[in-house]
Amino acid sequence: MLLTLIQIGPYMAPMSKPTLTSVPKIDRPTAAAAMEAVRTLIAWAGDDPDREGLRDTPKRVINAYSEWFRGYDLDPAEELSRTFEDVSGYDDMVILREIDVESHCEHHMAPFLGKAWVAYLPTDKVVGISKLVKVVEVFAKRLQTQETMTAQIADAIEDALKPRGVAIMVDAVHQCMSTRGVHHPNVSTITTQFTGEFKTNPSLQDRFLRVVGK
Ligand SMILES: [Zn+2]
C-alpha cells in the first residue's frame, strides 16, 4: 500500500523556491490500509504485530500521524488572511521569539525539534501574532527539510503581508542525526532566510540576530 501511494503521488520538489502551492495532490489511502502498513513495518523491524502490546499500535500510530502531519490540511494563506491596517504609525520590526518547532524530516520521517524566530517589517498591515505562530506550525507539521520549511515560512509571510522584509531563523536538533547515523546528539542546525530590507540592510540583520542571541 505504501508503494502504491508512492507511485500515485511522487512529489517532486520544485527546483525554484518553494511556493505555497507545494502540497502534493494525492489520493490518500484508507485508514485500514495505513494501519496495515504499520503492521508490516512492525514485522519488518522484527516483532509480532499480533502480540498484546502491539495489537493497538497501528491505530495509535495513525492517530499520531494525524497530529504530526496535520499541516497538509491547513492553508497558511488562510491563516494570514486577516490583517489589521490600523498600526498607528508603527513601522519597526515585529519579532516573535522562540516559537516551538516540532517537525519530521522528509528523509527519515524522524522528528526534528527546535525553535523558530520570525520577524517582519510591516508596511501598511500587520497580522495577529498568533497567526505567525500558526504559519510556523502549518509548515512544521509536514514532512520537511529544515531549509525548505524556513523558506516556506518566509514566503507565506511575504505573500500575505507584502512587508518591507522578513527574517526567519530556525534552530533544531534532528533525531535522524542524534539517534542514528552519525550519532551526534548535541549538534543543532541553524537556517536563516532574509528577504527585502533584512537582506539588503546588514544593520537590520544584526538587530534581528542580536534579539535571537546567535
Ligand atoms: Zn533525516
pTM of the predicted model, to two decimals? 0.86
For the question of residue 67 being annotated catalytic, the response is no
Q: What is the DSSP string of 78-127?
A: HHT--EE---TT--S-EEEEEEEEEEEETTT--EEEEEEEEEEE-SS-EE
For the question of residue 174 being annotated catalytic, the response is yes
Cross-strand partners of 102: 113
Residue 183 assigned to a binding site = no
Mean pLDDT of the chain: 88
- Residue 87, Cα to own-chain centre: how many angstroms? 29
Confidence of residue 8 (pLDDT cuts 50, 70, 90): very low
Q: Are strands 94-105 and 143-144 parallel, antiparallel or unpaired?
A: parallel
Q: In the predicted model, what is the mean pLDDT of residues 119-129? A: 89
- Residue 192, Cα to own-chain centre: how many angstroms? 14
For the question of residue 176 being annotated catalytic, the response is yes
Confidence of residue 200 (pLDDT cuts 50, 70, 90): very high
Confidence of residue 19 (pLDDT cuts 50, 70, 90): low
Confidence of residue 1 (pLDDT cuts 50, 70, 90): very low
Ligand 1 geometric centre to CA of 180 (Å): 9
Q: For the chain, where do the domains classified as CATH 3.30.1130.10 start and end?
A: 76-212
* Furthest CA-CA distance within the chain: 65
Residue 108 assigned to a binding site = yes
For the question of residue 52 being annotated catalytic, the response is no
Span between the terminal Cα atoms of the chain, in Å? 45
Beta-carbon contacts of 59 under 8 Å, excluding residues fewer than 6 positions away, are 35
Q: What is the spatial distance between Cα 27 and Cα 190, in angstroms, rounded to a whole number? A: 34
Residue 104 assigned to a binding site = no
CATH number corresponding to 76-212: 3.30.1130.10
pLDDT, position 122: 92
Where helices occur in the chain by DSSP H, the ranges are 2-8, 31-45, 57-68, 76-79, 129-140, 146-161, 175-178, 197-200, 202-212
